[in-house]
Structure 1
């Protein structure tokens, strides 16, 4: 099918402003609306009989039960599903509404031209006389804030005075290093402590015991066997990055992963409006694994899917992935910190191209790094860049199978 042919679209939304806005956007994009109805008032047979190529859904809590009756059709791999927030759709006006309509048209027709009319080509840069700017001039306004923040983050991990040659981190309740010989000769011992310590020193000097014990002093020094620490979490994780056009790809990926999948799956998908709770509910309907909203301070446990809100960053502590408040530079730092043998990175529709380089570096260390196939992908820029590094591209269902084969 060529990009110029109209797509058959089923519009599922309750009556109101949001439905009117979406209907207008579909007409402007040249789509053929084969069904327009409240999802609470139709069944899967009615939706299937309309033979849509695309289903556009205005999400809101009131239609959740209705959508559950339509899952047989919505899970069809030949049907693309586009979600939009009903509240946001109803509020869009003017430029914002036109911008969303252009993105919708690009997705329906399989192209990437989302510029307004008259902006198809960038103006040719004009040459100016004079020497080009020097590196010092280019960086004149560059701040050092990022470097200071990075230094602050690792300051607590650096050794303090007195421990630099032992590899030990300074304990917070000691402000200085005490020389044992100087302390013993300073006369600061209590009267009742001196005989015991003297006896201890005498016994050590005269007859080193066969075992690490000192009986004469009344003190016992024993080597205790350390109990093995049980690993409560499996190191590593599967991190999925997506953006515009990504919810449908994520939905198809999660539908194929088994409930007992041995890695946590983290979904980092930026949403306009930030209604991540709605995204959790929608993904939970198709996923076999539990789908949770990530919370700061918690760790990612194996067998769970976590939707990561924009205000949370991902962090790696002793090989295990967790969540904290703050911005993690879009995910680049997290990718570099993942344990390669136990982790995977998937770049789906709309993922940031800036993630490609750190993902490729992680792949070179043994991690599973793949992207969404360009066929049917709304925004494949990251996938194409990833393929240039030799990474494999596949449909979301196939990506899930690759994860299962890996673990």
Structure 2
């Protein structure tokens, strides 16, 4: 017999509250007390001290529920939110499934499958036999001989294995109580030569390389190329420094032609000083030094005109992605849990795209402002997208890249959104009620590299899109788990989540 689950239903009197109470009775809640938020104060809820609080959300009760919001975070109490419109719409299979999910939340178990048939209900439990080491085996053998035996089964004793023997577990053999077999011995051999496995041996090129000249030849060719038209005589002083004298129209012999290139030692100039123009060489010989000085001055002027931009702002530096959340029927409560788990300063904009009948997005924005520390806005055409903020997208509004900035504009092509933001820095998440047709778009090549996941089926009212993501290999989890994925990918310093084998 389970312990009593004291439950309180916080809702105004009406058909929605009555239907919730009936479902809680079917799910095993007892006792159940109803409170009208318009007629009772939060102290009345504290006096009842419920284990489970079920809040029925109705637009007319929005102001009346505000004083009770601090109680929703009370420790030790399970809070379940239900939308009044959805409660009245459920019937048949949906209603039965809803009751099973309520029972799972009340009693804390994960089995939400329907009960099995009557012929499967009475399955005998397997008998267990415990053998005490001090039990007289002779008495057991005598009792066993007295019992009728239909089939005689003998087991051959296996070979004795010591503690160091490795055993192989065969799941098929385990079904027939077969003994464990010894793993085959693995022999390691290190008797090999690296030359036998060297597949990257060097092969000389078939064609010989081009002409290769030594230092003397390079200096000689440079001297010949830089010889001015007007002749000059070059003499070498005892210190080895060439002395150039103007020789008028007398032809000048290059150092290579005079055979002095190999006998004149080389000297190093001061690296910070440019060589002075030699007399008699003219303005052409000093042209490279003048051009170098002009290039350095031009580079310094360009560097002085540069300014630093905020690399984290949208419109400057590399483009950054977004987090797109898709949902519909049953999605507002999942969005509330996800946004409540995201911290302030999350470095990407969060775009929420819910398909709601009636389109009361302004009221939804006011409700979500109370559960998240991030700024929440209703997206409008022309508005600039900023990181760390939540935007609820009405139908026909999506971000586009305009003049280097991400702005909202009229449009409904989610596939085209991948052209405005980098897919490998974005995430697309499917919650309850999302459009399954959107899964084909996001799983296509345009969104390759994005984090695509969905809400787990447990607690998801309409999991069609989320299940389609899971069938294609995408991860699934609760809204709190999804928030941990986002934090682990873009705020790894928070250290709240170990992704394990999950690729983020």
Normalised to the residue count of structure 1, the TM-score between the two structures is: 0.58
8 Å CA contact retained: 2:24, 2:99: no
DSSP-derived class of the 1:341 partner:
helix
**Equivalent residue for 1:72?**
73
8 Å CA contact retained: 2:15, 2:88: no
- 1:371 is displaced (CA, Å) by 0.8
**Equivalent residue for 2:15?**
21
The superposition leaves residues 80-122 of structure 1 with CA deviations (integer Å, 9 ceiling, x where unpaired) of 31234xxxx5xxxxxx996455656643434899xxxxxxxxx
DSSP-derived class of the 2:417 partner:
helix
**C-alpha spacing 1:302/1:71, structure 2 compared with 1 (3 Å):** same
- 1:276 is displaced (CA, Å) by 1.1
- 1:297 is displaced (CA, Å) by 0.9
The structure having more radius of gyration, on CA atoms, is 2
DSSP-derived class of the 2:14 partner:
helix
**C-alpha spacing 1:8/1:316, structure 2 compared with 1 (3 Å):** farther
**Equivalent residue for 1:109?**
100
> Pairwise CA RMSD of aligned residues?
3.9
**Equivalent residue for 2:42?**
43
Instruction: Kindly report which structure 2 residues correspond to 1:144-223, keeping only aligned pairs within 5 A, or say none.
Output: none
**C-alpha spacing 1:105/1:287, structure 2 compared with 1 (3 Å):** farther
DSSP-derived class of the 1:69 partner:
helix
**Equivalent residue for 1:237?**
322
**C-alpha spacing 1:255/1:27, structure 2 compared with 1 (3 Å):** closer
DSSP-derived class of the 1:346 partner:
strand
DSSP-derived class of the 2:454 partner:
strand
Q: Tell me how far apart the structure 1 counterparts of residues 404 and 76 of structure 2 sit (CA, whole Å).
A: 37
**Equivalent residue for 1:313?**
398
- 1:333 is displaced (CA, Å) by 3.5
The superposition leaves residues 275-294 of structure 1 with CA deviations (integer Å, 9 ceiling, x where unpaired) of 11221121111112111111
DSSP-derived class of the 2:444 partner:
helix
8 Å CA contact retained: 2:406, 2:420: no
The superposition leaves residues 188-224 of structure 1 with CA deviations (integer Å, 9 ceiling, x where unpaired) of xxxxxxxxxxxxxxxxxxxxxx79xxxxxxxxxx999
Asked if residue 342 in structure 1 is aligned to residue 341 in structure 2, the reply is no
- 1:31 is displaced (CA, Å) by 5.3
**C-alpha spacing 1:320/1:366, structure 2 compared with 1 (3 Å):** farther
Q: Tell me how far apart the structure 1 counterparts of residues 391 and 37 of structure 2 sit (CA, whole Å).
A: 27
**C-alpha spacing 1:336/1:29, structure 2 compared with 1 (3 Å):** farther
- 1:36 is displaced (CA, Å) by 2.6
DSSP-derived class of the 2:365 partner:
helix
**Equivalent residue for 2:347?**
262
Count how many residue pairs are aligned between Structure 1 and Structure 2: 280
Structure 2: gaps spanning 5 or more residues? 102-111, 115-290, 293-300, 491-504
Q: Tell me how far apart the structure 1 counterparts of residues 488 and 400 of structure 2 sit (CA, whole Å).
A: 26
Moved over 6 A (4+): 222-226
**C-alpha spacing 1:362/1:373, structure 2 compared with 1 (3 Å):** farther
Normalised to the residue count of structure 2, the TM-score between the two structures is: 0.48
Higher alpha-carbon deviation: 290-299 or 239-248? 290-299
**C-alpha spacing 1:25/1:303, structure 2 compared with 1 (3 Å):** same
Q: Tell me how far apart the structure 2 counterparts of residues 262 and 338 of structure 1 sit (CA, whole Å).
A: 14
8 Å CA contact retained: 1:243, 1:270: yes
The superposition leaves residues 112-169 of structure 1 with CA deviations (integer Å, 9 ceiling, x where unpaired) of 99xxxxxxxxxxxxxxxxxxxxxxxxxxxxxxxxxxxxxxxxxxxxxxxxxxxxxxxx
Determine which structure has greater relative contact order: mean sequence separation of CA pairs < 8 Å that are 6+ residues apart, divided by chain length. 1
8 Å CA contact retained: 2:10, 2:53: no
DSSP-derived class of the 1:390 partner:
coil
Q: Tell me how far apart the structure 2 counterparts of residues 390 and 44 of structure 1 sit (CA, whole Å).
A: 48
8 Å CA contact retained: 2:42, 2:68: no
- 1:245 is displaced (CA, Å) by 1.1
Q: Tell me how far apart the structure 1 counterparts of residues 59 and 486 of structure 2 sit (CA, whole Å).
A: 29
Q: Tell me how far apart the structure 2 counterparts of residues 45 and 342 of structure 1 sit (CA, whole Å).
A: 48
**Equivalent residue for 1:81?**
81
8 Å CA contact retained: 1:12, 1:58: no
- 1:249 is displaced (CA, Å) by 0.9
